[in-house]
Structure 1
Amino acid sequence: MALKQHLLDSGFTNSLADASLFIHSSGSQLTYVLVYVDDIIVTGSHSSTVHAVLTAFADRFSIKDLVDLHYFLGIEVSRSKRAMHLMQRKYINDLLLKTNMLDARPVSTPLATTPKLTLTSGAPLDDPSNYRSVVGSL
């Protein structure tokens, strides 16, 4: 709550689409702060503004690691001069390892296109929890 109040007092507005996203707009400058428990991402259109926000955080709060973003909530982040790329390679590799499919070959579709599936074809799984877990992970 202290962080949220600090952001609001600093001119940020809370996004209506995502309660963990705070946005500050000043002319052509946009700054975004995304908060998830104790992980925070600060980014924006101008590096000087981002640095000012980080400095204000450091003055007000105890910040452990002020480093470039590499991972956030299982998403790998890499940067180039023109873009930021988000990947879930590690997440997918972990999922493939968990399901013993790390050595599986890629196919265009995981299901045979014939015969057509119907409501009564096949047999129910004895324990569908593993299937549900994998589908839920995807």
Structure 2
Amino acid sequence: MLNALLGQTAEAHRHAYNAAFEELGLTWYWDAATYARLQAHGRNAVRVYLETEQAHLLRAYEADFLIDAIEAAQLRCHTSTVANRPRPASHSWISNSYGCAPDGPRQHASSSTPTHRPASTALT
């Protein structure tokens, strides 16, 4: 069961990276094999991919600028996905015991769901 949960978490992160790439106007796509290969580099995964697969971008942009933009967009996409994911019914007793609404985080009537806005300029 733990392996299945870790697999789902990795997939959620991979999908968030792909959504981040799209948001930033990058035509990159990480399939499961690419993501798994890059995870061997830990926190440097984006840097390794950038330097080995998209090095041409380093002529126009600093690596840290691109990495920061990608990581920030990935975090926004992942957070939005997790916040909007329905909670499994089997875990509703846990959510209720910790004061969380079973259908997601409590929000004031005036708050809205975060949305992804495409960047005004593409990085590619």
Q: Does TM-score exceed 0.5, indicating one fold?
A: no
Which is higher, the Rg of structure 1 or of structure 2?
1
RCO comparison, higher one (Cα < 8 Å, 6+): 2
Normalized per residue, the structure richer in strand is 1
Normalized per residue, the structure richer in helix is 2
Query: Structure 2 length normalisation: TM-score?
Result: 0.27
